[in-house]
Amino acid sequence: MTAHDDVNAPDNERALEEGIVTDFRERMTYGSYLDLDRLLGAQHPVSRPEHHDEMLFIIQHQTTELWLTLVLHEIRRARELLAADDLREALKPIARLKNIQEVLTQQWSVLATLTPTEYAQFRGFLGSASGFQSVQYRAVEFALGNKNGKMLGVFRNHPENLALLTAEYESPTLYDEFLRLVARRGLPVPAEILDRDVREPYREHADLVPAIRAIYENPHEHWDLYEACEKLVDVEDNFQFWRFRHLRTVTRTIGRKIGTGGSSGVDFLQRALDLTFFPELYTVRTSIGT
């Protein structure tokens, strides 16, 4: 007697429930909604002969770009809500942003499985293509305060990318909108911050620290501002974790080679660790309790 004949044998096949839709002639499908034909057909290795590990390299960077699309989406929403004095609702996209950043940082562990020998076999086929040219990454940095007008020139031959980055270059940062809200709450935010040229990178202002200190030393009076300050610190910390993980992954994969886009590679990434988005939120910690 076979297992199929044994009525007591376990059934290792899940029955298809009667209500499950199987006729999609006139219905939207999972694949059409997500545009999976285009998304899953967007991996085009350039190495010849095609190297097995290039697919990892492509998918790692494509998924990063998808997450960066959502990062920008959430930052823009948070800015809109801050500008509308809706701090409570603004905390939600900021909290979501933190979780996206954690996923982005964890992704480096996958790329870190690419050994120097494996990468060397297809790196030369990349030409001058480099993550340095990611317009979405630059837009995120601009949106958080690290603006650099010279970066616009990198995208001068791609009108859509240039328009995207120019829009962020000319817009208030997330921190700008938060500090404007703080000022509207009656705390002493210096006029030079409120009236600053938002196209310039944000720089630390010692005169802002008393306002931030007032928030931290009176959390029950300013609870939502207090919570927002800590969530912004989370965002910056997570961004630094991402930068550091990027640095270490590049170091273990190519050592101190020049980047494919012409940067100094590891040294260039190392200098990024000195950049800060919300400096007063860190400076204030020195003065609290003293």
Q: What is the set of domains in the chain, with CATH numbers?
A: 51-254+265-286 (1.20.58.480)
Distance CA 148, CA 132 (A): 13
Residue 24 is assigned to a ligand binding site? no
pLDDT above 60 for 3: no
Residue 113 is assigned to a ligand binding site? no
Q: Write down the pLDDT at residue 233.
A: 98
The distance from CA 113 to its chain's CA centroid, rounded to whole angstroms, is: 22
pLDDT above 90 for 50: yes
Residue 60 is assigned to a ligand binding site? yes
pLDDT band, very low/low/confident/very high, at 231 (cuts 50, 70, 90): very high
pLDDT above 70 for 7: no
Residue 58 is assigned to a ligand binding site? yes
The distance from CA 49 to its chain's CA centroid, rounded to whole angstroms, is: 33
Q: Write down the pLDDT at residue 11.
A: 72
Q: Write down the pLDDT at residue 19.
A: 85
Distance CA 273, CA 244 (A): 7
Question: Mean pLDDT over residues 30-52, rounded?
Answer: 97
Question: Mean pLDDT over residues 172-177, rounded?
Answer: 98
Residue 285 is assigned to a ligand binding site? no
Residue 119 is assigned to a ligand binding site? yes
Distances (CA, A) of 100 to 63, 76, 105, 230: 12, 15, 9, 17
| In contact, 247 and 115? CB cutoff 8 Å | no
Residue 241 is assigned to a ligand binding site? no
Residue 61 is assigned to a ligand binding site? yes
Q: Write down the pLDDT at residue 47.
A: 97
pTM for the model stands at: 0.91
Q: Write down the pLDDT at residue 2.
A: 54
Question: Mean pLDDT over residues 255-278, rounded?
Answer: 89
